Amino acid sequence: ADADRQAPVLELVKLLREDGALVCAFEMTVDEARGALDACANRIRRNELRDAYGPSIEYFLETGQTPSDIELLSARLPQKLESLGLHIEPSPPREMEFQVDELEFAAALRASIGYHKEKALLHDIDCVSAVARIRRGHDSTAIERSKALFVTPNAQLAKTTKEFFQPDSPPGSVALCVSDHALAS
């Protein structure tokens, strides 16, 4: 997206790294982002722009990016993320002891968020579930001591995740998911 949209995200990553956080992206999230970039390239290539929306495709159209430019960005995305100080990590293994109820969580997310694509819903569930597995049942009342945290621009996802999981956590526990805006604040 444009510089105005990039700046707060880059500043948050910088602040987290300066505070000693290991800032990571799950491989599945990188794959999702690459899929979104490839979809933008395909829409522009086929001139299917009538119902195209979102900051990424708007940026590509405003800056005259070609499908080849976007495909190159997609191919180089892992290296770009690494250059920004983000490590790309695989999802932790699934262990029944630390597995969340993904079906119930999916129902809660469907009820609160109007997902346009099932893949986006599944990605969000997978990320929150992965964070729960990384934490291995440990709660913390300080973000600095949390083993993992899913940061998202989707405030409703953060709110729904907190509401869904908070009844099982001690008061004041750090949620599994937080919005980027809340974390930056």
What's the pLDDT tens digit per position in 13-69? 999 999 989 999 999 999 999 999 999 999 999 998 887 778 899 999 999 999 999
Report, in this order, helix, strand and coil percent for the chain, each rounded to 5: 60, 5, 30
Contacts of 145 (CB under 8 A, 6+ apart): none
User: Is residue 161 scored above 90 in pLDDT?
Assistant: yes
| Entry pTM | 0.85
User: Is residue 168 scored above 90 in pLDDT?
Assistant: no
Q: Are 125 and 164 in contact (CB under 8 A)?
A: no
What's the pLDDT tens digit per position in 5-27? 889 999 999 999 999 899 999 99
Instruction: Give the SS3 label for residue 24.
Output: strand
Nearest residue to 22 (alpha-carbon basis) of 119, 148, 170, 124: 148
Both tokens assigned to 121? 């819903």
**DSSP letter, residue 86:** P
Which of 133 and 100 is assigned the larger pLDDT? Answer: 133
What's the pLDDT tens digit per position in 86-114? 999 999 988 877 778 888 999 999 999 98
State the Cα–Cα distance between residues 55 and 18, nearest whole angstrom: 28
